[in-house]
Amino acid sequence: MRPKSLFFSIIAYLFWASMGLQAMGQEMTPNVKIFMCGDVMTGRGIDQVLPSPGDPVIHESYMKSAVGYVKIAEQANGPIQQPVSFAYIWGDALDELRRSAPHVRLINLETSITTHNDYWKAKGIHYRMHPGNIDILKAAGIDVCALANNHVLDWGYAGLSETLASLKAANIQIAGAGGNLDEAAAPAVINMGDQSRVIIFSFGLPTSGIPFNWAAETSRPGVNLLGDLSDTSLRFIQKKVHQVKRKGDVVVASIHWGDNWGYDISRRQTRFAHRLIDDSGVDVIHGHSSHHVKAIEVYKDKLILYGCGDFLNDYEGIGGYEEFRSDLALMYFATVDSATGKLVALEMTPTQIKRFKVNRASGADAWWIKEILNREGKKFRTRVKMDKDKHLILHW
């Protein structure tokens, strides 16, 4: 063989050998796919159309019966055949979940699951679903419910206790609420079967409307409430994460924070998110509370969702804030490298709430969400593109 031919043969061998090693490395570090969405509210009007509706009496200045929310939704978008099946409310989301096949399905459940009538009198809005409708969560294969939000205690401590018991009986993991602070601060842990795990913490902040006296304490039930975005809160999270995280784990911080309306993301919020990644070992931040989708950031290859919007509720027919299109939301499918916690890909499915059901958004509505994410993502150097099937793909 001529020297020149030998040289090119060696170069080719080294190239293909390196590709083989890279492929082996990919096999040794499997990716984890996590489904996340915004607030899921299955109480009030939605509870009334399910197979086991609870007591419709509510204590609002706007409405005195949960049936009223069914009526205004039907006036807005047409009749809802009752009772609906447990699968009904998930609508097109079920096909998307089957198609994407995520390893973990995580939601922020903004509903108390109880028959108790002792509502929290200092609040003006109270959500609850009858425990007989718990199969609504099983119909979508939900693995984990984040509970550190401003509605899980709407029906008092007895309502919280029944909520926790109902979810546990359904084999759905919880994070963010419990019978005391240790329980409320404990994460949900999903074993992936290859020695890696997805660990999900749930935190709430008063800025989302959580009353300060809902905070769990050593001998008091409640939610995992952070007082603020301070160094003290960061140290609390850091301690909790470091107690459980080990090599190969992906840690998700599901955080209920901020106002319901508006796209602004404060510097304090961004700094807090960055320090969760830099100092606390968090790999994915699942932010919610806003009634509409907000900007996405990828910081040091770690995903930050600042606000995921409302994924399911009974707000149809209620006027106000139309410019934010709160009927539109996203299914977030994040693929994460379990060895590093870094984001590999983020695919999103645009959806619309209509007739108490999750529907695929129209092409025009999907385009509208895309433009909002691109406008708000400029300062974070993120951009989304739409594929031929109207899925949105994140670029960073």
Please report, as a single letter, which amino acid is at residue 266. S
Asked if residue 11 belongs to a domain, the reply is no
Residue 295 contacts residue 348 (beta carbons within 8 Å): no
pLDDT value of residue 5: 52
Residue 272 lies in a domain: yes
- Residue-wise pLDDT for 120-145, tens only, equals 999 999 999 999 999 999 999 999 99
Query: Domain of 292?
Result: 30-395
Residue 302 covered by a domain:
yes
pLDDT of residue 125: 96
Mean pLDDT of 234-240: 97
Nearest 5°: CA angle at 44, between 215 and 174? 40
Number of domains in the chain: 1
Q: What was the pLDDT predicted at 2?
A: 53
pLDDT tens digits, one per residue of 57-102 = 999 998 999 999 999 999 999 999 999 999 999 999 999 999 999 9
One-letter amino acid for residue 139 of the chain:
A
Residue 154 pLDDT more than 50?
yes
Average pLDDT, whole number, for the chain?
93
∠ CA(86), CA(109), CA(170), 5° rounding? 55
End-to-end CA distance of the chain: 47
Q: Which residues lie below 8 Å from residue 232, measured CB to CB, with a gap of 6+?
A: none
Structural domain includes residue 342: yes
What count of Cα atoms within 13 Å lies in the side-chain half-sphere of residue 276?
29
Mean pLDDT, rounded, for 223-242: 97
pLDDT of res. 194: 75
In a 3-state reduction of DSSP, which class is residue 325?
coil
| pLDDT number for residue 24 | 41
Q: What is the predicted pLDDT for the residue at 30?
A: 86
Task: Count the Cβ atoms, other than its own, within 10 Å of residue 76.
Answer: 15
CATH, residue 153:
3.60.21.10
Q: What is the pLDDT of residues 287-330, one digit of tens each?
A: 999 999 999 999 999 999 999 999 999 999 999 999 999 999 99
The structure tokens listed for 40 are 């899921």
For residue 377, being part of any structural domain is answered with: yes
Rounded CA separation 163/157 (Å):
10
Name the β-bridge partners of 352: 328, 359
If you average pLDDT over residues 201-227, what whole number do you get?
Answer: 97
Listing DSSP states for 331-360 in one string gives: EEEEEEETTT--EEEEEEEEEEE-SSSEEE
Cis peptide before 83 (omega within 30 of 0): yes
For 109, which DSSP code?
A: E
The predicted pLDDT at position 18 comes to 46
Residue 214 lies in a domain: yes
Is the residue at 5 inside a domain?
no
Q: At what angle do helices 267-279 and 231-244 cross, to 10 degrees?
A: 30
* Total residue count of the chain as it appears in this document: 396
Distance CA 358, CA 235 (A): 38
Question: pLDDT tens-digit profile of 10-39?
Answer: 444 444 444 443 444 444 458 999 999 999
Is residue 145 one of the residues assigned to a domain?
yes
